[in-house]
């Protein structure tokens, strides 16, 4: 079948769905939607539809990115725009079916917004909401709106037209197109993609490979997972275009095993591509052959590094090697190899579909296009976002993210995962692009953005990152193997209140050595959290070292809990919940914490009724409390 | 006595035969494929729940690589286990988002509840406990995963409740 025919069929299927006289319900059931309870909501909806004998079309879609409002359902009644409802429970969803589908009350009180043509009274346009307004959906345009398991939905929305166009172009012209778009590697390093493809294309050798790096290991990042779950074909189309351009007949997707749904969707998408002739021998009659194999990662963070990843595909220990030779010359099995991140491949597909000019008009001078970020941590609206590069951090946190959770004070934003850095308030107005973030001591990274508030201890957060990189260091080169351990040791002693004068300087010295001396990206960037926190939050280190105090009240060795005698009502709730039986007291007796038994888990603070708020958490001070339980004072 | 010893030996041999039959099947699937060692190890673990010692030597023999190389690869990756695992695997996410939102507290509580350290298995082989670097469900931090079920927006109390469902 020619692509025109395939396309026509897909469009007519899509249009039939859009103009169907049955109501449609789109349930966001990605991994995070499911974790929030989307499957229970789905079940409740199906049961209610059956009970009421309503004929409706229920589709599971990927993540729209508004994770804070999960579980979400979009409802389309014939001739109406789609209304998106958030924070559903099975009970609310059941009620919604009754109210909107049966009684035609769109329940504006439950709706987040509506999408598509037309408006519904009292419900705002979804894309005009402050969480979505600054966003530009280039790679995520399908996520949450199409059925990721139906290739026709993808084709009807412009999918595979990029591949069809590419197969009629000379490879050099495609490279020119990618270069003109200004696309840079979305895995974090930001190398120009067109140039990278060009190197590999020009490398001598007949047998070449391309690889999609889906080993998204940065803690706090899930952009690639969402894209693979919500629109797997976009990544695969990009890979086919890249393979044709470079002259590779075999591609690999290296995806972490922690993403079972993404893997399942990829496998299904590959089968569909084969049926449609978008992969395999003689693709769409072009004479070009291309095959893709999926390799499941086995749980090693360092395998996100390209040379380590290739060693892992070869069935070896995933250890990096020194470069040159670069993979473009000698990569997988010693052959020229081009490796790009999930998002880069999807971007390439969009560029071929819509043209380089369209893509390049988004973004800033040196960083073109858009980038997806996982906005998480202490921010009101967590989620997956896609923004034009050049946007400021402030816009991301306050407009899209809706500010800090519970109205607390912003302290830092961590970008780039364990390889990145922590940026303070003073940097919030700097633009998000490769150059600005590097100048600030952090990196763009693959796109994790973790917001920290006043309750986050920066020394503890740094220790957290070093614990991670130290454990994940493969041990091949000494600067990384020994250096991360030494830095972690110093950080650990500082958080235990055993820091010494000179520790900060020692940390800086080791960090610089590790940065300069390490073999691969993991070691070269592992000191970034240390260096940026010392640069921007030195006072927190000094307070820990000199005053043996943790200002954010996080470091367990430096904090204590006390029960305030004038507030305790002797209700025994904390006493019963204390896991180490460190609280003594009795009914109507002021409780007392045995400081030797207390493990500082904070359970008592969590369970003490807010109207009493009798437990104080302090650092570096002692509160005078009775040694033994005493009767509570009668309230005046 | 002699009878029981014989029976034991026979049982042991039949278990061994079973392991080696299963292994032969898995290895045969990947015959001629380059770089198949990791997928083979993954399949074997899927079958047995961990990598038994006999499996390592069998894989080495049939793939014609040294036992030390097989073990070297297997021990490099966090996914592979060399001891029997519990019926349910409890994974507490300690990704950055979970860390800043209190994942450590959840882990501490579960350690106390199950009376097992992370990486360990309870004496009755009911639960294995693990700390994991990130599940990619960060917007719902802190996250707890039991077997394949992901539980988001956890609190210490919710974690305890969730755990009860698997007891």
DSSP A453-493: ETT--HHHHHHHHHHHHHHH--SSSHHHHHHHHHHHHHHHH
Between residues A634 and B12, the one the model is more confident about:
A634
CATH number of the CATH domain containing A576: 3.30.70.20
Phi and psi, residue A54, nearest 5°: -100, 130
Name the band, by pLDDT with cuts 50, 70 and 90, for residue A324. very high
B74 pLDDT above the threshold of 90: yes
Q: Are A462 and A448 in a shared domain?
A: no
- The model carries a pTM of 0.93
Give tens-digit pLDDT for A172-193: 999 999 999 999 999 888 999 9
What stretch(es) of chain B map to CATH 3.40.30.10? 88-164
Separation CA A373–CA A359 (nearest Å) = 18
Residues B96-121, mean pLDDT to the nearest whole number: 91
What ipTM goes with this model? 0.89
A29 pLDDT above the threshold of 80: yes
Residues B96-125, mean pLDDT to the nearest whole number: 91
Candidates A29, A36, A220, A299, partner chain B, best to mutate (most B CBs within 10 A): A220
Q: Are A270 and A162 in a shared domain?
A: yes
Residues B81-108, mean pLDDT to the nearest whole number: 91
Between residues B134 and A50, the one the model is more confident about:
A50
The total domain count for chain A is 5
Is residue A145 a part of any domain in this protein? no
Query: Mind giving me the DSSP string for A289-328?
Result: -BEEEEEE--S-GGGGSHHHHHHHHTTS-------SSPTT
pLDDT at A593: 96
Is residue A267 a part of any domain in this protein? yes
Q: Which residues pair with A341 in a beta bridge?
A: A213
Q: Are A163 and A291 in a shared domain?
A: yes
B contacts of A450 (beta carbons < 8 Å): 96-97, 100, 138
> How many Å lie between the alpha carbon of B75 and the closest alpha carbon of chain A?
9
Residues A265-278, mean pLDDT to the nearest whole number: 97
Separation CA A51–CA A73 (nearest Å) = 19
pLDDT at B11: 61
- Inter-chain CB proximity A32 and B137 less than 8 Å: yes
B18 pLDDT above the threshold of 90: no
- Inter-chain CB proximity A219 and B77 less than 8 Å: no
Residue B121 per-residue DSSP state = B
Give tens-digit pLDDT for A205-218: 999 999 999 999 88
| Least confident window among A45-54, A335-344, A599-608, B22-31 | B22-31
pLDDT at B16: 65
Q: Are A441 and A477 in a shared domain?
A: no
Q: Which residues contact A501 (CB under 8 A, 6 or more apart)?
A: A545, A546
Residue in chain B nearest A383 by alpha carbon: B139
Q: Are A429 and A577 in a shared domain?
A: no
Of B76, B79, B112, Cβ closest to residue A579: B112
What is the residue-averaged pLDDT of chain B?
88
- Inter-chain CB proximity B138 and A602 less than 8 Å: no
Instruction: Please give the structure tokens belonging to residue A317.
Output: 């220990």
A contacts of B38 (beta carbons < 8 Å): 295-296, 298, 312, 315
Separation CA A419–CA A443 (nearest Å) = 7
A contacts of B155 (beta carbons < 8 Å): 606
Instruction: Please give the structure tokens belonging to residue A495.
Output: 């958080």
Q: Are A478 and A579 in a shared domain?
A: no
pLDDT at A129: 94
CATH number of the CATH domain containing A51: 3.40.30.10
Name the band, by pLDDT with cuts 50, 70 and 90, for residue B19. confident
Residues A602-624, mean pLDDT to the nearest whole number: 93
What is the residue-averaged pLDDT of chain A?
95
A contacts of B162 (beta carbons < 8 Å): none
- Inter-chain CB proximity A35 and B140 less than 8 Å: yes
Separation CA A186–CA A343 (nearest Å) = 6
- Inter-chain CB proximity A450 and B108 less than 8 Å: no
Residue B154 sits at the chain A interface (C-beta within 8 Å): no
Separation CA B99–CA A35 (nearest Å) = 18
**Domain B88-164: CATH class, spelled out:** alpha beta
**Torsion (CA) A360, A246, A277, A154 in degrees, nearest 10:** -20
Q: Are A26 and A105 in a shared domain?
A: yes
Q: Which residues contact A337 (CB under 8 A, 6 or more apart)?
A: A200, A208, A209, A210, A211, A248, A310, A327, A328, A331
pLDDT at A615: 96
- Inter-chain CB proximity B141 and A376 less than 8 Å: yes
- Inter-chain CB proximity A296 and B153 less than 8 Å: no
pLDDT at A347: 98
- Inter-chain CB proximity A31 and B150 less than 8 Å: yes
Residue in chain A nearest B97 by alpha carbon: A377
Backbone CA torsion sign across A550, A556, A560, A563: positive
B contacts of A603 (beta carbons < 8 Å): 109, 156
Separation CA A284–CA A7 (nearest Å) = 13
- Inter-chain CB proximity B96 and A374 less than 8 Å: no
- Inter-chain CB proximity B78 and A31 less than 8 Å: no
Percent share of chain B, pLDDT over 90? 53
pLDDT at A594: 95
pLDDT at A199: 97
Peptide bond connecting A71 to the previous residue in cis, omega within 30 degrees of 0? yes
pLDDT at B14: 65
Name the band, by pLDDT with cuts 50, 70 and 90, for residue B62. confident
Q: Are A93 and A231 in a shared domain?
A: no
Give tens-digit pLDDT for A87-122: 999 999 999 999 999 999 999 999 999 998 888 989
Separation CA A581–CA A572 (nearest Å) = 12
Phi and psi, residue A613, nearest 5°: 40, 55
Helical segments of A253-327, H only? 260-276, 306-313
Q: Are A299 and A340 in a shared domain?
A: yes
Q: Are A182 and A80 in a shared domain?
A: no
Candidates A298, A305, A402, A582, partner chain B, best to mutate (most B CBs within 10 A): A298
Separation CA A220–CA A218 (nearest Å) = 6
B2 pLDDT above the threshold of 70: no
Of A216, A295, A378, Cβ closest to residue B136: A216
Residue in chain A nearest B153 by alpha carbon: A36
- Inter-chain CB proximity B152 and A35 less than 8 Å: yes
Residue in chain A nearest B152 by alpha carbon: A35
A411 pLDDT above the threshold of 70: yes
B contacts of A378 (beta carbons < 8 Å): 100-101
Give tens-digit pLDDT for B148-160: 888 988 988 899 9
pLDDT at B17: 67
Q: Are A40 and A55 in a shared domain?
A: yes
Candidates B138, B157, B159, B161, partner chain A, best to mutate (most A CBs within 10 A): B138
In whole angstroms, how large is the CA radius of gyration of chain B? 19
CATH number of the CATH domain containing A541: 1.20.1440.230
pLDDT at A35: 85
Give tens-digit pLDDT for A295-315: 999 989 999 999 999 999 999
Percent share of chain A, pLDDT over 90? 90
> How many Å lie between the alpha carbon of A611 and the closest alpha carbon of chain B?
20
Of A34, A225, A317, Cβ closest to residue B136: A225
Cβ count within 10 A of residue A234:
32
Q: Which of residues 98-137 of B touch A (CB under 8 A)?
A: 98-101, 105, 108-109, 112, 132-137
Domain boundary among A420, A437, A453: A453
Q: Which of residues 23-52 of B touch A (CB under 8 A)?
A: 34-39, 41-42
Phi and psi, residue A191, nearest 5°: -75, 135
B contacts of A380 (beta carbons < 8 Å): none
Q: Are A249 and A282 in a shared domain?
A: yes
Residue A403 per-residue DSSP state = S
Domain enclosing residue A442, as ranges: 376-453
Instruction: Please give the structure tokens belonging to residue B43.
Output: 């399949």
CATH number of the CATH domain containing A382: 3.10.20.600
Residues A222-236, mean pLDDT to the nearest whole number: 96
B15 pLDDT above the threshold of 70: no
Give tens-digit pLDDT for A511-538: 999 999 999 999 999 999 999 999 999 9
Taking alpha carbons only, the member of A22, A29, A53 closest to residue A43 is A29
B contacts of A414 (beta carbons < 8 Å): 96
A contacts of B134 (beta carbons < 8 Å): 217-222, 258
Is residue A146 a part of any domain in this protein? no
Name the band, by pLDDT with cuts 50, 70 and 90, for residue A349. very high
pLDDT at A484: 98
Taking alpha carbons only, the member of A387, A338, A380, A319 closest to residue A174 is A338
Residue in chain B nearest A66 by alpha carbon: B139
- Inter-chain CB proximity A313 and B35 less than 8 Å: yes
Residues A565-588, mean pLDDT to the nearest whole number: 92
- Contact by Cβ (8 Å): B40, B26: yes
Residue in chain A nearest B150 by alpha carbon: A35
Separation CA B152–CA A447 (nearest Å) = 21
A463 pLDDT above the threshold of 60: yes
Per-position b or e across A182-192, b if 16+ CB within 10 A of its CB: bbbbbbbbbeb
């Amino acid at each position: 079948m020619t692509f025109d025919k395939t396309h026509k069929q897909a469009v007519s299927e899509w249009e039939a769905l859009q103009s169907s006289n049955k109501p449609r319900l789109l349930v966001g059931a990605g991994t995070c939607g499911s974790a929030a309870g989307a499957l229970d909501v789905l079940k409740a909806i199906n049961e209610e539809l059956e009970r009421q004998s309503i004929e409706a079309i229920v589709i599971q879609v990927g993540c729209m990115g508004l994770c804070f409002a999960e579980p979400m359902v979009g409802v389309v009644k014939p001739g109406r725009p789609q209304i998106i409802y958030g924070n559903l429970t099975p009970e609310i969803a059941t009620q919604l079916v009754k109210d909107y589908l049966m009684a035609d009350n769109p329940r504006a009180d439950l709706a987040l917004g509506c999408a598509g043509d037309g408006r519904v009274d009292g419900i705002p346009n979804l894309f005009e909401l402050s969480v979505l307004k600054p966003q530009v959906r280039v790679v995520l345009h399908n996520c949450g709106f199409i059925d990721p398991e139906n290739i026709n939905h993808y084709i009807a929305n412009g999918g595979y037209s990029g591949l069809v166009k590419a197969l009629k172009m000379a490879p050099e012209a495609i490279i020119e197109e990618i270069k003109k778009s200004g696309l840079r590697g979305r895995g974090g390093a930001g190398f120009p993609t067109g140039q990278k493809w060009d190197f590999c294309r020009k490398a001598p050798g007949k047998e070449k490979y391309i690889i999609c790096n889906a080993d998204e290991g940065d803690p706090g990042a899930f952009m690639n997972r969402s894209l693979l779950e919500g629109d797997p074909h976009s990544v695969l189309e990009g890979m086919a275009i890249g393979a044709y351009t470079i002259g590779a007949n075999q591609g690999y997707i290296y995806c972490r095993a922690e993403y079972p749904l993404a893997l399942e969707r990829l496998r299904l998408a590959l089968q569909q591509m084969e049926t449609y002739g978008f992969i395999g021998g003689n693709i769409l009659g072009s004479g070009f052959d291309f095959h893709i194999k999926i390799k499941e990662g086995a749980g090693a963070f360092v395998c996100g590094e390209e040379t380590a990843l290739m060693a892992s595909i070869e069935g070896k220990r995933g250890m990096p090697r020194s470069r040159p030779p670069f993979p473009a010359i000698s990569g997988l099995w010693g052959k020229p190899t081009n490796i790009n991140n999930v998002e880069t491949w999807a971007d390439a597909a969009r560029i071929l579909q819509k043209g380089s000019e369209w893509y390049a008009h988004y973004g800033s001078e040196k960083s073109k296009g858009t980038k997806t970020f996982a906005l998480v941590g202490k921010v009101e609206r967590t989620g997956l976002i896609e923004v034009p590069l050049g946007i400021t951090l402030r816009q991301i946190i306050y407009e899209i993210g809706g500010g800090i959770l519970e109205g607390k004070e912003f302290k830092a934003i961590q970008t780039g995962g364990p390889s990145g850095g922590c940026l303070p308030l003073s940097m919030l107005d700097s633009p998000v692009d490769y150059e600005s973030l590097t100048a600030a001591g952090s990196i763009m990274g693959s796109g994790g953005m973790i917001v920290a508030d006043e309750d986050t201890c920066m020394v503890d957060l740094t220790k957290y990152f070093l614990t991670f990189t130290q454990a994940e260091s493969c041990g091949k080169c000494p600067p990384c193997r020994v250096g991360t351990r030494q830095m972690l040791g110093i950080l650990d002693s500082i958080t235990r209140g055993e820091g010494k004068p000179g520790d900060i300087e020692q940390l800086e010295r080791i960090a610089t050595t590790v940065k300069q001396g390490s073999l691969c990206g993991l070691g070269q960037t592992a000191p970034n959290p240390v260096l940026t926190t010392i640069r921007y939050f030195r006072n927190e280190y000094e307070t820990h070292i000199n005053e043996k105090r943790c200002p954010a009240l996080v470091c367990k060795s430096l904090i204590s809990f006390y029960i305030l005698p004038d507030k305790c009502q002797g209700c025994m709730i904390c006493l019963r919940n204390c896991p180490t039986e460190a609280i003594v007291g009795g009914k109507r007796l002021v409780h007392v914490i045995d400081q030797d038994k207390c493990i500082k888990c904070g359970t008592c603070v969590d369970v003490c009724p807010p109207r009493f708020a009798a437990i104080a958490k302090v650092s570096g001070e002692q509160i005078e409390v009775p040694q033994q339980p005493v009767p509570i004072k009668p309230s005046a | 006595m002699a009878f029981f010893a014989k029976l034991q030996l026979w049982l042991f041999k039949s278990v061994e035969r079973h392991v080696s039959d299963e292994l032969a099947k898995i290895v045969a699937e990947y015959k001629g494929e380059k770089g198949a060692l990791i997928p083979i190890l993954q399949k074997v673990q899927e079958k047995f729940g961990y990598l038994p010692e006999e499996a390592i030597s069998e894989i080495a023999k049939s793939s014609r690589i040294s036992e030390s190389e097989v073990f070297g690869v297997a021990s490099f990756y966090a996914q592979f286990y060399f001891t029997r695992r519990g019926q349910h695997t409890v994974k507490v996410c300690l990704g950055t988002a979970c860390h800043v939102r209190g994942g450590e507290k959840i882990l501490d509580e579960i350690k106390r509840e199950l009376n097992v350290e992370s990486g360990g298995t309870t004496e009755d082989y009911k639960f294995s406990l693990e700390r994991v670097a990130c599940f990619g469900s960060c917007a719902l931090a802190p996250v707890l995963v039991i077997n394949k079920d992901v539980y988001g927006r956890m609190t210490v109390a919710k974690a305890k409740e969730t755990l009860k469902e698997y007891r």
